[in-house]
Amino acid sequence: MRKINVHYLILIIYLCFLNIIIYTSLAAQEEKPQVTRLKIDVERQVGEIDPKIYGNFIEHLGRCLYGGIYDPDSPLADEKGFRRDVIEAVKKLKVTVLRWPGGNFASGYHWRDGVGPRELRPRRLELAWKTIETNVIGTNEFIEFCRLIGAEPYICVNLGTGSWDEAREWVEYCNIEKGTSLAELRASHGYPQPHRVKYWALGNEMDGSWQMGHRDAEDYAKFALEAAKLMKWTDPSIKLVACGSSTFGRGWTDWNRTVLNYLRDYADYIAIHTYLNNRRNDFPSFMAATLDVEDRIKIIEGLILEAMSQTRRREPIYIAYDEYNVWYRAFEDKGLEETYNLEDALVIATFLNVFVRNAHIVKMANMAQLVNVIAPIRTTKESLWLQTIYYPLFLFANYCHGRSLQVYVDGPTYKTETRPVVPYLDVSAAFNPKENEVILNVVNRNEKQAMPAEIISQWGTFEGKARIDEVNGPNIKAENGPEGEKVKIESKEIQVKGDRLTYLFPPHSYTMLRLKWQKPTSH
C-alpha cells in the first residue's frame, strides 16, 4: 500500500474547506436582499399635497348612517343621536371632506324628502340597495355631522332620476343667505345661516349600467352640462365634480374624453372610482394592483390637458378619486361589512402613496366608506373597534402634509402575470416646510423578507431624532376585531445625523419615517 503524501492531503482538505466557505458565502449573498437606494431632494417637488386627499364618504347603505354615525338608542349617542365615540374616532382620522348621500343611493334620492320636521318626512322604497329609506338623516343632519367632525361637506346631486331644477334648488337651499323662498325654507327648518357647501358632484357613476338613470357618455355630458350651468349661476363660488370612470373596460378613455370636452368650462374635478380585491389569494399581485391606479391617473391627466387646450379657462381641472377601497368578501352581503386584514391595510397605504406621488393632479380622494360599510370603523351598540385600514389612513392624514417630492427608487423587483417589474418597496415622500420635516412612506410588498434601504438626502442633512411608525401584524391575514387588535401602529425613535441613513423595512409592513431636515450651510 502506497503512503499518502501528507502535504498533498493537507492541500485537499484545505481546498475542501475553501469550497465550503465560498459556497456558504455565495448562498448568504443570494439570500441577503439587495439594498434599495432612495434618493430625496427637497427642492424636487411634484406639487402641494391637498388635505382633501384624506376625505371620506358616507351613504345610506347598511349600518353606515343608521346604527353607525346615528344611533339614538345607543348609550353612547349625544342629544341629537350622533355617536360620540364615532365622532372622536373620525376626528382622529382628520377627515377633511365628506361625500354624501351616495354612491348609487344618490341616483334615486330627492333632497326635499330629507328636510323639515322628521315626523313629516316620507318613507321611500330605495331601489339602489333594495331597502326602505326613512329620511331621518337629510341635508341639515349631514351638515351638522360634518361640523362635528371638522370636515367640508361634499354633496352628490341626483342626475339619475333627478332634474336640473332639483340640482339647482339644492344649491339654493344650502347656500343662498336670504331673500328667496328656498333660503327662507331652510331658515324655517332651523338654519337661518347658509351652509355654504362648496363641493358638488354631478351625479354618481353614470357610466355604469347598474346606475339608475344610466346614460352613455354624450347623453350624460349634455345633461350634466345644463345642471352645471344652473348650479354655478345659482352660486358661482361652488366647485363641481364630473363623473369620470367607475369601470375600466373597453372605451373608458372615450367616456372621460367626452365628459371633459363637454364640461371643461364648468367642471373643476373629474371623479374616478376603483375598488380592488384579492379573490385569487395572490398576495404579490394584490400588492401590485395600485400600479393600475397610477396608470389611470396619468392617462386622465393627459385627457385633462387635451381638454384644457381647447378652452380659455385658466383654473385647472383636477382629479377627485372620490371612491376607493378594498371590497370583495362582503360583496353580496347587503350590509357590506367587510372585515379587513393586514394585506388590505398595505393596499390602502399604496393607494395613499399613489395620491401623494401625483399630488399635482389628484386634489381630492374619498375612501368608501366611513363606518361599518367597507369601513375603517366598526360599531356595536356599546362600543367601536378599529379595522386594520384605519391605521395607514391615520398616519397619512395626521402627518403627511406639505409638498410631494420626487423619489428616486433603485432596488429589487418582482414580476406578476400582468406586471414585469414591481418594486418591492413602494415609496412616497413629502417635505413639510413648517416643520422642516421629510416624511417618507414605505410599503414593503415582500411577504417573507425584510428589505434594507439606504435613504439619501441629495441636498441638506437629516439631524436629531427621527420618528418611525410601523403598521404591521403577525401575518398578512391578521385581522382586528372587538376582542382585540392584531394589526396596529408600533412607534419608536432613532437618532440620525448626516445625509444618509440605512433602515431595514420589515416584511409585509407600512412604515412612515419623519426625519428632521437641515438646510446646508452656504460656503
Integer CA distances (angstroms), 241 to 148, 172, 177, 190, 369, in order: 24, 18, 23, 29, 19
Average pLDDT over residues 98-117: 98
Assess whether pLDDT exceeds 70 at residue 34.
Answer: yes
Q: Which amino acid is at 160?
A: G
CATH superfamily of 51-399: Glycosidases (3.20.20.80)
Contact 429/40 with Cβ under 8 angstroms? yes
pLDDT at 7 over 90: no
Q: Which of 20-34, 101-115, 270-284, 367-381 has the lowest mean pLDDT?
A: 20-34
In the chain, where the domains are located: 34-46+405-518, 51-399
Q: What is the pLDDT of residue 312?
A: 86
pLDDT value of residue 333: 72
Catalytically annotated residue among 59, 133, 169, 205: 205
Q: What per-residue confidence (pLDDT) applies to 498?
A: 95
Average pLDDT of span 396-422: 98
Which three cell numbers, joined as nine digits, stand for 404? 410631494
pLDDT at position 521: 79
Residue 29: the pLDDT is 46
- Can you give the pLDDT at residue 367? 98
Would the pLDDT of 332 be above 80? Answer: no
Q: Would you call 205 a catalytic residue per the annotation?
A: yes
Q: Place 410 in a pLDDT band, splitting at 50, 70 and 90.
A: very high
- CA–CA separation, 47 vs 57, rounded Å? 25
**Confidence class of residue 365 from pLDDT cuts 50, 70 and 90?**
very high
Give the pLDDT of residue 259.
98
Instruction: Judge whether residue 362 has pLDDT over 50.
Output: yes
Sequence letter at residue 128: A
Per CATH, 34-46+405-518 and 51-399 having the same topology is answered no
437-474 pLDDT tens trace: 999 999 999 999 999 999 999 999 999 999 999 999 99
Predicted local confidence at residue 30, as pLDDT = 47
Specify the DSSP element, H or E, that contains 514. strand 509-518
Average pLDDT over residues 34-60: 97
Which CATH code, of 1.10.10.10, 3.40.50.300, 1.10.150.530, 2.60.40.1180, is assigned to 34-46+405-518?
A: 2.60.40.1180
pLDDT of residue 270: 98
b/e code 131-155 from CB counts within 10 Å (16+ = b): bebbbbbbbbbbbebbebbebbbbb
pLDDT in tens, 182-225: 999 999 999 999 999 999 999 999 999 999 999 999 999 999 99
Cβ pair 299, 257 in contact under 8 A: no
pLDDT confidence of 1, banded at 50, 70, 90?
A: very low
Average pLDDT, the chain: 94
> How many percent of the chain have pLDDT more than 90?
90
**Which of 126, 141, 152, 323 is the catalytic position?**
323
* Cα dihedral 42, 45, 47, 53 sign: negative
Check if 323 is active-site. yes
For 504-522, what is each residue's pLDDT tens digit? 999 999 999 999 999 987 6
